[in-house]
Chain A
Amino acid sequence: MAIKGFKNHPYIPNSDVETQNEMLREIGLNSLEELHDEVPESLKLKENMKLPKAFRSEYELKKHVERILKKNKSCSDYLNFLGAGCAQHYVPAICDEVNSRGEFLTAYGGEPYNDHGRFQSLFEYESMVAELVDMDVVNVPTMDGPQASATSIRMASRITGKKEVLIPEILDKEKFLIIKNYCSPDISLVEVKYDQETGYMDLEDLKGKISDNTAAVYFENPTFVGVIEPNGDKISQIAHQAGAISVVGVDPSSLGLLTPPPQYGADIVCGDLQPLGIHMNYGGGQAGFMATRDEEKYVMEFPSRLFGLAPTSVEGEYGFGDVAYDRTSFGHHREHGKEYVGTQSALWGITAGVYLATMGPVGMRELGEGILQRSQYAIEKMNEIKGVKGSYFNSVSFKEFVVDFNESGKTVEEVNKELLNRGIFGGKDLSNDFQNLGQCALYCVTEIHTKEDIDRLVNEIKEIVEGC
């Protein structure tokens, strides 16, 4: 069967036959089939691909996709307490408005002249995140937070020339697997224990494991389970004394409230931008950032693009450009550039910039305090349930906290199943990834949760656990 095309398609202006014939004449051919002369016949498909027939109108497509998507129950339908790397924050309408502007949405690799606005927005994003983390230099966003962590580790390894990295044992398993794959085969990861009571990094274990071979100590604040690590300065000091670099992963939504890592010794700060005005998008809203001081030895190890401000030939004009472009794999050195760069998640960077400018210093402080208060309230209320401990760890946590069901007589799976029946997404079950915790779940509370939401959750769990 000869393959025939689809004529007069709205996305393909030249699917009009008369136009095609005119263009074919211009290049000396008689039919579209004569194109692809360079592809050997043996490699050509002889039949149409087996794909569903095209919708005949935009309307039909829309109805079809809407029908499928309606099968989902979103976090607008259900009350959600899931976090673990992706959190439900309020997305100001202005973030969506800017994010959906066609100029930004459909721009790509333009020059500073035709994409001046893209360069400026991303420079401003870099500037605002730099202030948030109290650093000088921030990259155009990478794929996600774990990618940023992995790249920070690779940067530290290149700077120190060492190949071993200490990371916390209590780390998101998905993140661990991403870092592990990105660091293999040459960088080995050594896990540092945490204090069973507080969740803090075990300083004795850290001291025992650090050595002359250590390139970096990577830790998170708040940790994966929400614990606010108070010993950042001690950890950084231990790292520095061994000639290693202190790398800290952060949740940017905490930094209106919490001390930024450089103030307790961090050399590289990294994290995920998703909490800053980006919808969860079923995990599609992640974007990673790295930040360092403005020192050549750090800047030259970024694989990502770095947009900088520069003068133009006209006094009073701002111009922009790629700083130290040749350090990237886009430069002249290909595989001898730093790691690799390509399309990553720049639009989320612009969106995060809009969010930070909209929130301002007061908004970010209020956000942090409000989350701290709400999560503390949720912990206290959970403590009122028989057999449930609102927090497994005896320490202060931010946004996320480990709820302990070990004494409840129920597994997390059972509790979550019941909660689901009642229209609630309970916390992430930790019993597989952290077996020593037993039946524990990671709950996430943000500024979107009202007292009524939290009370409803607690009452439902109370009913499930206490059976009343």
Chain B
Amino acid sequence: MKRIDRSHKVRNFHQAKWDEPIIYELSKKGERGILVPEVCDEIKERVGDCVSKLPEGMNRKEPVNLPEMSQSRVLRHYVRLSQETLGADVNIEIGQGTCTVKYSPKVNEQLSRMTEIADLHPLQDESTVQGILEIIHSTDEYMREISGMSRFTFQPGGGSQGILTMASIIRKYHEEKGQDHIKDEIITTVYSHPSDAAAPAVKGYKIIHIHPDENGYPDFEAFKAAVNERTAGFIVANPEDTGVYNPKVKEFTSLVHEYDGLCGYDQANANGLLGVTRAKEAGFDMCFFNLHKTFSTPHGCGGPASGATGVVEKLVKYLPGPLVEKCEDKYTLSYDLLDEEYSIGKVRLFLGVAPVILKAYSWIRSLGAEGLYEVAKIAVLNNNYLFNKLMKLDCVDAPYIRGKQRIEQVRYTLEKLTEETGITTGDIQRRMMDFGMHYWTSHHPYHIPEPITLEPTETPSKEDLDEYIATLEHIFKECYENPEIVKTAPHSSVCHQVDESGLDDPSEWALSWRTYLRKTSDQ
């Protein structure tokens, strides 16, 4: 038998394609997926059907229009849909820059699904939840050490809610000082996450954006001109989405403090800095970590998540309650905080997403201080290796701080490729699917033409990185030699190019099966 040649780097891939109907098309009258626990005869005899006791008009007339399906059919449908989803467990997840998608260890998942956490009610007596309170309290202590902050809340259900929490604290702080009518501006940078602008805007702030200077660092001169008596706070990511770290960050935070503003650090993606540097030393008063990013709890298609938010001592009183306190060997909840005139109250029900906190706890305990440092070093090594390799390609560039290191991600530009071939970063994005790869362009608006944002983390091996690079190279070559195949991509995905023309048109958009049926009923 002739040896089979498997030396090629670019993967021959075809995503599972089931041509799966919309669930309503699978419905068959009379089928059902589960039997509901029946009410026993004694109860029925005692209280009757009770439906007759419902207030007039409150008995639903028509059954809910839900699909009628046997259990195996429901399962097959959803397993097929799962196969049509390219999670991080399936692909080399480098392509979702700014989101730190890394390996989420299975043991952590298994532990988080134990009955001893899954079946806990959040209002149980403290004496019966000592285990989970211990986990939350210990994770708080670890977060303090990692950031230098004094206290953490795990209530925010994601990074954006962490930003909202910081903005709420900024407002409370200035209200208490009677200067909220003067302090009405929050400063951020254009390469910070959109929520760094959007969440404080919900709290009524005017948002001031700082653009990069000629070298790509946040422009300190522009910043100096922006900070004044009206500055309530400064909320920023560092490194920003470009992967550029602002070495003058301490000067920025010091200036804001001179005007009694508060500084909030967007540490959604702190992966490249663990054990290297901290929020406290950089002069921040608050920070948040996305546990579903840096601390390796899976993203779940976009949550459930946790935006653990920490503050310095003087701001602890503003945190949403309750917090977990440790009294000798006993853990308690400080509901008193909610009654304080200072606290912002609450931002999410109960204590936050406990299974996510547990997974972050387990991840930290699997690595320890040395392991976290190793994570940061390898994440930055992987990123700079990828950066170095990609910059050798003629059609790839990355604006700013040339010849210097990036932290854990880089925003690249394919401007030259587009100029020479007409192929855009959006085209490449679709073509990458044909090789089982995920690729993300950038947040809007694109400040860099034809962007890609890549963030390898510590998870991929050198071989994984090489495969991703080889795939990109393969596609770039196609752009010059066979551009049609790129422009018409994807070819090996679940579906072909989506006709997006109706997505912004109220007469066309179809936001549920019933509206789809209604809008297409004349055809």
Q: Which of B2-10, B20-28, B474-482 contacts A (4 or more CB under 8 A)?
A: B20-28
CA distance A27 to B122 in the complex (A): 50
B interface bracket (residues with beta carbon within 8 Å of A): 35 or more
Is A23 a contact partner of B381 (Cβ separation < 8 A)? yes
B409 within 8 A of A: no
Is A448 a contact partner of B86 (Cβ separation < 8 A)? no
Partner of B51, one of A55, A299, A369: A369
Is B498 a contact partner of A370 (Cβ separation < 8 A)? no
Is B64 a contact partner of A255 (Cβ separation < 8 A)? yes
Q: Which residue of A lies closest to B443 (CB)?
A: A330
CB under 8 Å from chain B, chain A span 109-163 = 109-118, 120-124, 126-128, 130-132, 136-138, 140-141, 143-147, 154
CA distance A131 to B429 in the complex (A): 35
Within 8 Å CB of B33, what residues of A? Answer: 92, 94, 357-360, 363
Is B57 a contact partner of A107 (Cβ separation < 8 A)? no
CB under 8 Å from chain A, chain B span 187-244 = 193-195, 197-204, 207, 244
A208 within 8 A of B: no
> Per-position contact with B for A32-75: 1 when CB-CB < 8 Å, else 0?
10011111101111001111111100100110111011111111
Is B117 a contact partner of A72 (Cβ separation < 8 A)? yes
Q: Which residue of B lies closest to A367 (CB)?
A: B36
Partner of A310, one of B80, B158, B502: B502
A374 within 8 A of B: yes
CB under 8 Å from chain B, chain A span 388-412 = 395-396
Within 8 Å CB of B344, what residues of A? Answer: 181
Given contacts A80-B121, A131-B64, A369-B50, contact A325 B512 (CB under 8 A): no
Q: Which residue of B lies closest to A186 (CB)?
A: B204
B412 within 8 A of A: no
Given contacts A52-B365, A72-B129, A177-B338, contact A124 B300 (CB under 8 A): no
Within 8 Å CB of A438, what residues of B? Answer: none
Q: Which residue of A lies closest to B193 (CB)?
A: A342
Is B68 a contact partner of A361 (Cβ separation < 8 A)? yes
Q: Which of A85, A281, A314, A331 has the most B CB atoms < 10 Å from its CB?
A: A281
Q: Which residue of A lies closest to B60 (CB)?
A: A259
B32 within 8 A of A: yes
B255 within 8 A of A: no
21 sampled A-B residue pairs with Cβ under 8 A: A9-B371, A14-B378, A45-B277, A50-B145, A66-B111, A74-B119, A94-B75, A111-B433, A112-B498, A128-B66, A140-B302, A258-B59, A259-B60, A314-B496, A325-B503, A339-B198, A345-B305, A360-B66, A362-B63, A370-B38, A376-B47
Is A348 a contact partner of B304 (Cβ separation < 8 A)? yes
Is A72 a contact partner of B131 (Cβ separation < 8 A)? yes
A206 within 8 A of B: no
Given contacts A86-B121, A324-B503, A346-B300, contact A180 B345 (CB under 8 A): yes
Is B157 a contact partner of A136 (Cβ separation < 8 A)? no
B461 within 8 A of A: yes
Q: Which of B257-265, B308-316, B346-354 contacts A (4 or more CB under 8 A)?
A: B346-354
Q: Which of A228, A279, A307, A416 has the most B CB atoms < 10 Å from its CB?
A: A279
Within 8 Å CB of B515, what residues of A? Answer: 136-137, 294
Is B113 a contact partner of A100 (Cβ separation < 8 A)? yes
Within 8 Å CB of A448, what residues of B? Answer: 37
Within 8 Å CB of A202, what residues of B? Answer: none
CA distance A451 to B146 in the complex (A): 51
Partner of A49, one of B35, B53, B78, B275: B275
Q: Which of B66, B406, B499, B511 has the most A CB atoms < 10 Å from its CB?
A: B511
Partner of B250, one of A42, A144, A329, A331: A42
Is A342 a contact partner of B161 (Cβ separation < 8 A)? yes
CA distance A373 to B120 in the complex (A): 25
B101 within 8 A of A: yes
Is A107 a contact partner of B374 (Cβ separation < 8 A)? no
Within 8 Å CB of A230, what residues of B? Answer: 55-58
- 3 closest Cβ pairs, A-B complex: A283-B350, A342-B160, A283-B122
CA distance A228 to B55 in the complex (A): 8
B130 within 8 A of A: yes
Rounded to whole Å, the gap between the CB of B465 and the closest CB of chain A is 9
CA distance A121 to B82 in the complex (A): 9
Given contacts A27-B385, A100-B113, A343-B302, contact A73 B128 (CB under 8 A): yes
Is A27 a contact partner of B388 (Cβ separation < 8 A)? yes
CA distance A284 to B135 in the complex (A): 14
A436 within 8 A of B: no
Within 8 Å CB of B405, what residues of A? Answer: 35-38
A312 within 8 A of B: yes
Is B276 a contact partner of A36 (Cβ separation < 8 A)? yes
Given contacts A181-B168, A340-B202, contact A71 B134 (CB under 8 A): yes
A364 within 8 A of B: yes
CA distance A324 to B19 in the complex (A): 26
> Per-position contact with B for A313-352: 1 when CB-CB < 8 Å, else 0?
1100111111111100111101111011111111110100
Q: Which residue of A lies closest to B382 (CB)?
A: A14
Is A145 a contact partner of B511 (Cβ separation < 8 A)? no
Is A86 a contact partner of B304 (Cβ separation < 8 A)? no
Is B495 a contact partner of A6 (Cβ separation < 8 A)? no
Given contacts A62-B111, A174-B349, A284-B354, contact A32 B377 (CB under 8 A): yes
Is A4 a contact partner of B370 (Cβ separation < 8 A)? yes
CA distance A151 to B439 in the complex (A): 32
Rounded to whole Å, the gap between the CB of A131 and the closest CB of chain B is 4
CA distance A283 to B353 in the complex (A): 6
A195 within 8 A of B: no
Is A69 a contact partner of B494 (Cβ separation < 8 A)? no
Is B85 a contact partner of A108 (Cβ separation < 8 A)? no
B178 within 8 A of A: no
CA distance A26 to B204 in the complex (A): 49
Within 8 Å CB of B195, what residues of A? Answer: 329, 340-342
Is A312 a contact partner of B375 (Cβ separation < 8 A)? no
A269 within 8 A of B: no
Within 8 Å CB of B395, what residues of A? Answer: none
Is B86 a contact partner of A255 (Cβ separation < 8 A)? no
Within 8 Å CB of B114, what residues of A? Answer: 66, 69
Given contacts A72-B130, A363-B32, contact A312 B59 (CB under 8 A): no
Partner of B128, one of A52, A372, A420: A420
Within 8 Å CB of A305, what residues of B? Answer: 302
Is A82 a contact partner of B123 (Cβ separation < 8 A)? yes
CA distance A62 to B303 in the complex (A): 24
A194 within 8 A of B: no
CA distance A36 to B168 in the complex (A): 33
Is B119 a contact partner of A103 (Cβ separation < 8 A)? no
Is B66 a contact partner of A14 (Cβ separation < 8 A)? no
Is A101 a contact partner of B79 (Cβ separation < 8 A)? yes
Q: Which of A65, A73, A182, A257 has the most B CB atoms < 10 Å from its CB?
A: A65
Rounded to whole Å, the gap between the CB of B416 and the closest CB of chain A is 23
A217 within 8 A of B: no
B454 within 8 A of A: no
Is A335 a contact partner of B75 (Cβ separation < 8 A)? no
Partner of A108, one of B99, B123, B368, B500: B99
Given contacts A26-B385, A343-B290, A420-B125, contact A257 B497 (CB under 8 A): no
Rounded to whole Å, the gap between the CB of A249 and the closest CB of chain B is 13
Is A345 a contact partner of B514 (Cβ separation < 8 A)? no
Within 8 Å CB of A27, what residues of B? Answer: 381, 384-385, 387-388
Q: Which residue of B lies closest to A376 (CB)?
A: B47
Q: Which of A6, A339, A376 has the most B CB atoms < 10 Å from its CB?
A: A6
A425 within 8 A of B: yes
CA distance A342 to B304 in the complex (A): 11
Within 8 Å CB of B54, what residues of A? Answer: 228, 257-258, 372, 396
Is A185 a contact partner of B349 (Cβ separation < 8 A)? no
Is A72 a contact partner of B512 (Cβ separation < 8 A)? no
Given contacts A144-B157, A360-B33, contact A35 B380 (CB under 8 A): yes
Partner of A396, one of B55, B65, B385, B461: B55
Rounded to whole Å, the gap between the CB of B133 and the closest CB of chain A is 9
Q: Which residue of A lies closest to B63 (CB)?
A: A361
Is A181 a contact partner of B159 (Cβ separation < 8 A)? no
Within 8 Å CB of B180, what residues of A? Answer: 185
Q: Which residue of B lies closest to A135 (CB)?
A: B512
